[in-house]
A = this chain, B = another copy of it.
Amino acid sequence: MADTSSLEARVGELEERLRALEDRDAIAQLVASYGPAVDSGDADAAAELWSDDGVFDVVPYFELVGRDGIAGMVNDDGHQSLIHNGCGHVLTAPKVVVDGNEARGWNYAFNIRWDGAADRFWIARLSANEWEFRRDRGGWHVVRRTNVNLDGDERPRALFRNSTEPLGGVS
């Protein structure tokens, strides 16, 4: 029969490993929440994904700061026109590396637009994305999201290169 102290060590290790998986899952859910929030035009839901001082950097077009900045983008005439013409902000499942209360992630973001006359959609943009996340009392939030179109420029390659060193989250 196992003694209590060896069992306690095993339980402690389980708690740590489970927490790591929960963190990765919460962050993946945060990323999966972005598209439905902005494509339904829900400015508050989109804003709540970011931290109070969070940044959304859409290189080289504009940089949004804070939840008001995010909400403003969703309520803006440009975005409202997009969703009323038909569009999809489709994000892929991210690669994520967690380090305590901070984390980083990388994925792709499609900006897709409906063309009723052609009876199909066009991929207006396909962007490399880098995310910085932070855990606070309300859970995980986005501290910074950087989005750069994959148009052959060096910037999206540099951004994705950050994901490959180290491969800490994979093994």
- Among A110, A128, A149, A153, chain B packs the most CB atoms within 10 A around the CB of A110
Residue among A5, A32, A94, A160 with most chain B CB within 10 A: A32
In contact, A151 and B116 (Cβ under 8 angstroms): yes
Specify the main secondary structure of chain A where it touches its partner.
mixed
Instruction: Tell whether A163 pairs with B40 under 8 Å between CB atoms, given A21-B22, A84-B152, A170-B29.
Output: yes
Interface string of A9-33 (1 = CB under 8 A from B): 0110011011001101110111011
Residues of B within 8 A of A30 (CB): 170
Contact of A39 among B48, B87, B157 (CB under 8 A): B157
Cβ-defined contact, A151 with B114, below 8 A: yes
- Asked whether, in the complex, the Cβ of B7 is within 8 Å of the Cβ of A8, the reply is yes
| Number of chain copies forming the complex | 3
Residue of B whose beta carbon sits closest to that of A11: B10
What is the size category of the interface that chain A forms with chain B? 35 or more
The answer to whether A36 and B128 touch across the interface, beta carbons within 8 angstroms, is: yes
Please give me the residue from chain B that is nearest to A110 by CB atom: B90
User: Which of B1, B29, B44, B161 contacts A8 (CB under 8 A)?
Assistant: B1
- Contacts of A75-94 to chain B: CB distance below 8 A: 83-88, 90-94
State the 3 A-B residue pairs at the shortest beta-carbon distance, nearest first: A139-B171, A45-B164, A86-B152
Give min CB distance, A10 to chain B, whole Å: 5
The answer to whether A164 and B40 touch (CB under 8 A), given A22-B21, A32-B95, is yes
CB-contacts of A112-127 with B (<8 A): 112, 114, 116, 119-126
22 A-B contact pairs sorted by A residue (CB < 8 Å):
A1-B8, A2-B4, A2-B8, A21-B21, A28-B93, A29-B169, A30-B170, A33-B95, A36-B95, A37-B160, A37-B163, A39-B160, A41-B157, A44-B164, A45-B165, A83-B157, A86-B149, A87-B150, A88-B150, A114-B151, A116-B151, A122-B123
